[in-house]
Each structure stands twice: as structure tokens, then as C-alpha cells.
Amino acid sequence: MRWSTAVRRIEEIADECARMAAQPAAIFRLRVTEAWLHGPLLDPPVEELTDATVPLRVALVHEDRVEGDAGPAAWGTLPPGAGQWLAASRLPRWQVRTRFRAVGSPVANHEIVAPLRFWTLDAGLDEAVVAALRSGRAEEVARRREPEPAPGEALAAVEAELARSLHRMGELSAARERHRHEPGQEKRLEELADVVAGYLDLRHARERVGRG
């Protein structure tokens, strides 16, 4: 993906977040309130982003428009309503790796390092951020990035996400056992696989943070 294309895509993602936020709450349970950028686009500019996986990475902060939200989803899984939100948006058609982070929780973690917010529901697109990215001078808005936590704080954050993943793994395993002979287990099994993958990712992150 070319650098200029990636910057233009950031503007399009902001437009898409605004469009989705205007949809009826009765139809879309999840509402995105902030969009943050992390990854190669915050590095020194190059003509072509050549990340081997996905060059454009965003974290979407969400809130639940239905009472009784169970809190942040396990790492690597989608919160309730996020699948529907993504399906109705254009993000899956683009080269974008999307992570969802619950409102009130830190955006940054072991993967989302020093992210930069570029859109909010209240203020819209941050034109200063886009201008800095377009000119290849992300350092001009570096002070707006969420700071990296101290080593002790980083380890505690990973441990908290590990505990959440393990808890969700237990819930899904128990539900699968209770409903083993009922139809429609595919969705539960898919989420269980995502939880396990996220848990293993967090285990590796804990080892790296612990060594640091």
C-alpha cells in the first residue's frame, strides 16, 4: 500500500465511523466513539508500506448501547455487536487490521504500541493528525500519542488481559459442554478458537515484557 493511499484510507475510516455512529441504536448495538492509529504509518515515511501482513492498523474504542455489557472482550475476540458493525461498514474490504477496545480501558497494549487518535465521535476527524501523516511528519503530533506504560504497568496489563481470556475460555468451554448435542455450535467454536489464539499471544507477550 502506498503511503498516500494509507493516509487517504485513514480519512475514509473516519468517515465510515461517523456514518456508522449515525445508524439507529435499535439496529446496531455497538457504537464506535474513537479511532486510533498504530503501526507503520507512524514510522518515518516511505513510498510503499511493505508490512508482510497488514500495513494499516487501527483500534476502535467502543461503547455498548445496551445495558448489561459484560465489559471488555477477551483479546483477539470481537465484542458483542462488532461483527455486525464490521459487516455493515467498508473496513473489511480494505487492508486494515481492526482491534476493538472498550471505552474506559487503555487503548494501548502489547500489540497496540503508542497509538495516535485520529477521530472522535464528538470532534470528528483530527485534521492536524492527517496533515502531519500526509507530510510524513508524525513527530509533530507525537505528544498526542498514548504513552507506553512503565514495565511494571505493562506486565500488569498483560496479566489482566490473560485473566480475562482464561475466564472467557472457561465460559465458552462450559457452554459447549452443556450444548454439545445441540445444533448451531459453529459460532461458539469460532469464538473459542479466537480466545485460545489471543490467550497464546498474551502468553508470548508476558514472556517478552517479563524479560524487558
Q: 134-186: per-residue pLDDT in tens?
A: 998 888 998 889 988 888 899 999 999 999 999 999 998 898 888 887 887 78
Separate counts of helices (H) and strands (E) for the chain: 5, 5
Contact 159, 202 (CB under 8 A): no
Residue with C-alpha cell 508524525?
138
Q: How much is the pLDDT for 94?
A: 87
Q: Do the beta carbons of residue 119 and residue 38 sit within 8 Å? A: no
More confident residue, 210 or 54: 210
- CA 77 – CA 183 distance, rounded (Å): 22
How high is the pLDDT of residue 54? 56
Residue with cell 456508522: 20
From residue 154, how far is each of 58, 84, 160 by CA, in Å?
20, 31, 10
Which of 65 and 2 is assigned the larger pLDDT?
2
Query: Which stretch of 9-13, 22-26, 186-190, 205-209 has the lowest confidence by average pLDDT?
Result: 186-190
pLDDT reported for residue 165: 95
Does residue 18 have a pLDDT over 70? yes
User: Which three cell numbers mark 17?
Assistant: 465511523
pLDDT tier at 52, thresholds 50, 70, 90 = very low
What is the number of alpha carbons within 13 Å of residue 90 lying toward its C-beta? 12
Contact call for residues 72 and 79 (beta carbons, < 8 A): yes
Q: In what order do the strands lie in the sheet with 56-64?
A: 96-102, 56-64, 30-38, 116-120, 124-125
| Residue located via cell numbers 441504536 | 25
Tell whether the model's pLDDT for residue 109 goes beyond 50. Answer: yes
Instruction: Return the pLDDT at 71.
Output: 67
Phi then psi for 10, rounded to 5 degrees?
-60, -45
